[in-house]
């Protein structure tokens, strides 16, 4: 199998892995906000709290993120489909941060106020792997939405999907 065929088959295989959709945000040192959608986000450690996110090295926000050494991972809900469309499309670039409840936490980068959760991070290290940079972030601050109020956005087979969640009962732990 040729390398282009294998790359296409790999992308097709990965489309079958359901993933949460996150909005990674940062701010340039000049104060310009940047953001991009990501599905390659995972926890690394609870003590200290750390996560990783994979970003293509051609992404326009990467240089500013590396220079600022801070980013926020905002977990999107199903109600963010229009917002996700703005961040996915190059045409909507100028309008990305004009609507929505934007705020800041510890690092000063944009935080989406109505996301399921927001993890405000300082860059711990970046590792190059293939076409991407793997960024490890130390979590400096966390913002959580109340449980059950927001349904998560899922990416599966190249489409956004909804995951219906049952109402959480007080004191009930997830299994």
- Write the pLDDT tens digit of every residue in 11-23: 888 777 678 899 9
Whole-structure pTM value: 0.87
CA 25 to chain centre: 8
User: Can you give the pLDDT at residue 28?
Assistant: 96
Dump pLDDT digits (tens) for 5-50: 888 887 888 777 678 899 999 999 999 999 999 989 999 999 999 9
Mean pLDDT along residues 124-142: 97
Dump pLDDT digits (tens) for 70-104: 999 999 999 998 999 899 888 777 789 998 899 99
107 touches 92 (CB < 8 A): no
> And the tokens for 5?
């065929």
Q: Using CA atoms in the order 2, 129, 81, 12, what is the torsion angle rounded to 10 degrees?
A: 20
Give the residue among 93, 82, 111, 107 at the shortest CA–CA distance from 23: 111
């Amino acid at each position: 199998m040729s390398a282009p065929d294998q790359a296409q088959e790999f992308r097709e295989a990965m489309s079958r892995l359901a993933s949460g959709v996150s909005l990674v945000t940062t701010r340039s040192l000049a104060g310009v906000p940047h953001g991009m959608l990501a599905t390659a986000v995972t926890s690394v450690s609870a003590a200290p709290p750390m996560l990783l996110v994979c970003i293509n090295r051609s992404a326009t926000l990467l240089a500013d993120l590396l220079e600022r050494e801070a980013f926020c991972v905002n977990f999107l809900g199903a109600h963010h489909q229009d917002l996700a469309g703005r961040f996915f499309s190059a045409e909507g670039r100028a309008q990305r941060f004009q609507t929505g409840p934007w705020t800041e936490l510890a690092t000063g980068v944009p935080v989406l106020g109505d996301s399921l959760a927001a993890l405000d991070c300082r860059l711990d290290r970046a590792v190059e792997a293939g076409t991407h940079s793997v960024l490890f972030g130390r979590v400096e601050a966390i913002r959580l939405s109340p449980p059950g109020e927001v349904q998560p956005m899922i990416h599966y087979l190249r489409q956004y999907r909804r995951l219906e969640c049952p109402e959480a009962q007080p004191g009930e732990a997830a299994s």
